[in-house]
Amino acid sequence: MSRKISFAKAINEALIQEMDRDEKVFIIGEDVAKMGGDFGITSGIWEKWPDRAFDTPLSEAGFVGLACGAALCGLRPVAELMFADFIGVCYDQIVNNAAKLCYMFEGKATAQLVIRAVTGGGIRCAYHHSQCIEPWMMNIPGLVVVAPANAYEAKGLLVSAIRSNNPVIFLEHKGLYNKKGEVPEELYSLPLYKASVVREGSDITIVAAMSMVEFATRASQELAEKGIDCEIINPLTLFPLDKETIINSVAKTGRLVLIQEGPKFMGYAAEIGSMINEEIFEYLKAPIKRVTSLDTPVPFAPVLEDYVLPHYEDVITACNQVMSF
């Protein structure tokens, strides 16, 4: 596995290979066809399949609703939200239609669609284009929320998402698009609902998703020089969550630090922290610590955005704090 490609190219490759494998797969969204998407993720697809790549009007409610209907008819649509923030525009189609279809019809009808949503801050896109929207979706039974952290995960998880019979919100952090990693050229898949143990350790469990995995990795290397051994868990699927992997890790280390880019209130860090308190409180050697952004919109001014988003130094501080008990 010596070939290195970007996170963006890995997603593009997954789309092309799945469309080549299954004629039921098509893409739809704003500028995804001729232009190849605002971030270039769907480039080269319209030229190869002009009848399976569709540009739409600026109406997320319209094209996500269309994708939901197409899925009901047996197709496998992949809809792109140019920015995940616009998921609010098509919230009804996702939450009250796609998420509930399988349940309402006792499995006789499904909405096997993927909604690719470009999420996260850090590149000066301001209030309406920088939000972390995963908590909006994690409270909806019937949805699957997937969050890769590198190019290898992005390709393998997108393949699984397209093949899934459930509606999948596939989060792509815009800050990861240019990050390169080793990715096989051949088609492969990674399992949904299964967390990844990025690094094994014995002193602290660090749980992080998407761009925050890089924070966790850097912190583990720095702390290792001081004799602190961190285990890093990347959930990969934020909902439904692989609880077992996280619980087993915290039961081993007795300490938990959660890193989340979005605001502190009601995020995945809060849910995982509560789960650990309920399930294995007696194993904890120290209070659980969360490193998150501030509970405020993401500003446009670079100095303010940097102030609001999580800081790497806060991860080191949190780990030192839990080790002090």
Block residue for tokens 């300490």: 255
132 closest CA partner among 67, 211, 65, 196: 211
Q: Enter the tokens of residue 191.
A: 């399992």
Q: Enter the tokens of residue 33.
A: 């066809």
Question: What span, in angstroms and rounded, lies between the C-alpha atoms of 34 and 24?
Answer: 20
Residue type, 175: G
Residue type, 112: Q
Question: Active-site residues: which are they?
Answer: 129
Question: What span, in angstroms and rounded, lies between the C-alpha atoms of 301 and 299?
Answer: 6
Cβ contact 133:239 at 8 Å: no
Block residue for tokens 């699984």: 160
Question: What span, in angstroms and rounded, lies between the C-alpha atoms of 14 and 71?
Answer: 19
Q: Report the pLDDT value the prediction gives residue 133, as an integer from 0 to 100.
A: 94
Instruction: Count CB atoms within 10 A of the CB of residue 52.
Output: 18
Work out the end-to-end distance of the chain between its first and last CA atoms, rounded to an integer number of angstroms. 42
Q: Is 55 helix (H, G, I), strand (E, B) or coil?
A: strand
Instruction: Count CB atoms within 10 A of the CB of residue 191.
Output: 11
The full DSSP string for 4-57 is EEEHHHHHHHHHHHHHHH-TTEEEEETT-SSS--TTSTTTTHHHH-TTSEEE--
Where do the domains of the chain lie, and which CATH numbers do they carry?
Answer: 4-182 (3.40.50.970), 196-323 (3.40.50.920)
Cα separations (Å) of 182 from 10, 149, 179, 229, 233?
Answer: 10, 13, 11, 26, 20
Question: What span, in angstroms and rounded, lies between the C-alpha atoms of 256 and 319?
Answer: 8
Question: What span, in angstroms and rounded, lies between the C-alpha atoms of 224 and 206?
Answer: 13
Predicted TM-score of the model (pTM): 0.96
Question: What span, in angstroms and rounded, lies between the C-alpha atoms of 105 and 85?
Answer: 30
The full DSSP string for 39-52 is TSTTTTHHHH-TTS
Average confidence (pLDDT) per 10 residues, the chain, 325 residues:
90 98 98 95 97 96 97 97 95 96 93 97 90 96 98 98 98 97 97 98 98 97 97 98 98 98 96 98 98 96 95 97 95
Cβ contact 71:98 at 8 Å: yes
Q: Enter the tokens of residue 133.
A: 């929207």
The full DSSP string for 243-300 is HHHHHHHHHHHS-EEEEEEEESTTSHHHHHHHHHHHHHGGG-SS--EEEEE-SSPPPS
Q: Report the pLDDT value the prediction gives residue 1, as an integer from 0 to 100.
A: 55
Question: What span, in angstroms and rounded, lies between the C-alpha atoms of 199 and 231?
Answer: 5
